[in-house]
Amino acid sequence: MQKNFSANTLEYETLLEQFKKILKKNALKFTLQREMILKALYDSDGHLTPEALHRLIQERHPDIKVGIATVYRTLSLLEDSDIVTSLSFGAQGKKYELGTKEHHDHMICTECGEITEFVDEEIEKRQEKIAQEHGFLMKDHSMQIYGLCQNCQKNNQ
């Protein structure tokens, strides 16, 4: 599968180390399941529902059982640790993606749900400036553009 263009900033090994560190710090354990889930998220293009992630892992490791509950549990854990973020647009359910990618924004097709990522330096800078103007200390931001992707524009005509 094609890796998303918004390349992960971190090598997998680094990410794994980060995860392990957080686990240790909180007296939690590093398990095979947790690693498999992290790896699957890393390798995919993100935007996976818990169900889809579970399915993906089962396909990759038919020999090892991973319960759906563990997927949910691990996703919350990863979200609490700021390693993944969740988002949901339009009709489909909540999706998860690695939060360690280089920052990016989303363009969402309201028809088919396709999500495209993009980064625009100009907007990034401008946001910082707006925050400053309002005496606001910016910690994070998110932006979404809604509309119709090329395909759905055609199909709707």
Partner DNA sequence: ATAGAATTGTAAAAAAATTTCAAGAGAGTG
Partner DNA sequence: CACTCTCTTGAAATTTTTTTACAATTCTAT
Cβ 110 to its own copies shortest distance, Å: 7
Contact (CB, 8 A) for 156 and 112 = no
Q: Find the shortest distance in angstroms from Cβ 145 to DNA.
A: 23
Among 50, 78, 98, 115, the residue binding DNA under the rule CB under 7 A is: 50
Smallest distance, Å, CB 59 to DNA?
Answer: 15
The smaller minimum CB distance to DNA, of residues 75 and 108, is found at 75
Alpha-carbon distances of 28 from 22, 56, 64, 121, 142, rounded to whole Å: 8, 25, 21, 38, 30
CB of 19 to its own copies, least distance (A): 18
Residue 149 and residue 110: Cα distance in Å, rounded?
8
**Cβ(105)–Cβ(143) under 8 Å?**
yes
List residues near its own copies by CB under 8 A: 79, 82, 85-91, 93-94, 107, 109-110, 116, 118, 120, 122-123, 126-127, 130-131, 134-150, 153
Sign of the dihedral through C-alpha 44, 49, 53, 55: negative
Alpha carbon distance 41, 85 (integer Å): 11
The reply to whether 24 sits near DNA by the rule CB under 7 A is yes
Separation between Cα atoms, residue 47 and residue 23, nearest integer Å: 24
Q: Which residue stretch of 6-14, 32-40, 107-115, 139-147 sits at the interface with DNA (rule: CB under 7 A)? A: 32-40
Residues near DNA (CB under 7 A): 23-24, 27-34, 49-51, 64-70, 72-74, 76, 93-94
